[in-house]
Structures are given as C-alpha cells and as structure tokens.
Amino acid sequence: MHKSNNVLKTAAIALLLSGCATQSPTLSSGNVEYGDSKAVETLTNEFGSTDLQTIAESMANSLLQSPALFAKSRPLVTVAEVKNRTSEYIDTKSITDSIRTKIVKSGMVRFAVDTSAMQTQVEELARQNQSGLYKKSKSKKMGNMEGADFRIEGTITSIVKRAGDVKDVYYKFSLQLVDNESGTMEWADEKEIRKTSNKSMF
C-alpha cells in the first residue's frame, strides 16, 4: 500500500513538472538569439542598419511630398548611381533599393529598370522574341519599353574627426531628382547623421 502511494506521488509530481515546462519550438546552442531588425544599433560608429533605415525613410518621405514629381499621374522614375565618397565601404545600392521599395509601396510612382537590371531585361526580351520557343501572339514585343520621366541620383559623404578618445563621424546623404528630358533638377534633399563614440572609461 505504502509503495503504491509513493508511485502515485512520483507520477503526480512528474505530471505537474511536465505541465509547467513549456517547450519553445527552437533548436539552439544558447548563444544565438533573434533580435529586432528595427532596433537602434549603436555597436560602433561605422555606417549601420539604423543609418540605412533612417536615410531611406527620410528620403522616401521627402520625395513623396515633392510637387514636381506628381505634376504627372504615376510618373516613371529610374534609379541612377549614388556615389560613395566616404572613407568606408557602404553598399549604396542597398540604400537606393530601400528608398525605391518604400516609394513603390506607396503606389504613387512607377519605376523603370535601372542600368544594373538592363542586361536581364534585354536578355528576357531577346529570349521571348529570338529563341523561337514562344508563340508570337504571347511574347512581349521588343521596342515597347518606356523611358523614365525622372532619375534619382546622389552622393554620400563623411567627415571623420578624432580628438583623444573621442571619434566623431558625420554623414551627409544627398539625393536629387532630375527630369530626364529637360535635364533640370526638380527636387533635392539631404539627410545628416552625427555619431560620436568615446573610448575612455570615465
């Protein structure tokens, strides 16, 4: 009788314990965890994710408020180069991609293929029209591409200063919208970022 009581008690405790311990659907070594991709990152004062996100957001917001861009309904825009004139490696294509994504998602602007995607566009048209594999009535015709009304181009520059343990980095991202036909600049804006780090403990 005493033995069966003990067995029951152990079973009850086991049941209770298994009931409390919730298992997450993860397989982890314990050293890696997912964080917030939108968090403010201040690990170092080099160009980081927060800089990229704030530049893209600020530029897309400003561009969507530009009256020149919306003189025509859903204008066609292309992205030219953003020159990196800083002392560090920055993927400027990634910044312009983010700006373009935000503007496209507004549904108010259309984008034409830029120079980097032109090769793929030409190859696709050639494949449909010249390979002999596609029905004539179903293939996309050559000679129907639309020229962009505007192009977006810009520069990113930096000024780095050091004084003792203090390092100050100033970034300036300039973007402009140029009318492709007239060559006139229709909109321009800048985003400035200052980051200061201090190595000293006190």
Partner 1 sequence: MNAVKSVSLVLALLALTACATHQPPQPGSINAKVEQLSEMSYLQVTDLRAVKRNHLLTVQAEINNTDSDNQQLYYRFKWLDASGFAVGGEEAWKPVLVYAYQKQTLTAVAPSPQVTDFRMVVQSPDNTGNLP
Rule CB under 8 A: which residues touch partner 1? 36, 38-40, 50, 53-54, 57, 60-62, 64-65, 67, 70, 102, 105-108
* Nearer residue to partner 1 within complex by CB, 53 or 128: 53
* Nearer residue to partner 1 within complex by CB, 62 or 176: 62
Least CB distance to partner 1 at residue 187 (A): 12
Least CB distance to partner 1 at residue 56 (A): 9
DSSP string, 117-175: HHHHHHHHHHHHHHSS-S-TTTSPPTT-PPPPSEEEEEEEEEEEEEETTEEEEEEEEEE
CB atoms within 10 A of CB 170: 14
Least CB distance to partner 1 at residue 91 (A): 17
* Nearer residue to partner 1 within complex by CB, 60 or 90: 60
Least CB distance to partner 1 at residue 64 (A): 6
CB atoms within 10 A of CB 55: 23
* Nearer residue to partner 1 within complex by CB, 107 or 143: 107
Nearest to 160 by CA among 42, 40, 47, 43: 47
Q: How far apart are CA 198 and CA 45, in angstroms?
A: 10
Least CB distance to partner 1 at residue 13 (A): 40
| Residue 188 neighbours by CB under 8 Å, 6+ apart | 174, 175, 176, 177
* Nearer residue to partner 1 within complex by CB, 49 or 115: 49
Residue 107, token pair as written in the block: 């549904």
